[in-house]
Amino acid sequence: MAVTLGFEDWRPKWIIFSFIFPISPLRSSATSIIGRKKSMSDTKLAILTGASGEVGRATARRFAESGWSLLLCDRTSKVVEVAEGLSSEFGRTSIGMQMDLERDAEIDQVIERAAQTGIPLRFLGLIAAINHPAVSIANIDMSLWDKVQNINLRANVKFISAAVPLMRAAGDASIVNVGSYWGREGHPFFSPYCASKAALISLTQSVAIELAPEIRVNCVAPGNIDTPMHYNALAVEAEKRGISAEAMREIEWAKIPMGRPAATTEIASAIHFLSTEDASYFVGATLDVNGGCRLT
Do 23 and 39 contact (CB within 8 A), yes or no?
no
Angle at 132 (CA atoms; ends 8, 19), nearest 5 degrees? 40
Distance separating alpha carbons of residues 5 and 8, to the nearest angstrom: 10
Of 181, 193, 231, 281, which residue is the catalytic one? Answer: 193
Listed in sequence order, the residues at least 6 apart from 232 whose beta carbon sits closer than 8 Å to its beta carbon are: none
Do 71 and 114 contact (CB within 8 A), yes or no?
yes
Do 258 and 292 contact (CB within 8 A), yes or no?
yes
231 among known catalytic residues: no
The catalytic residue positions are 193
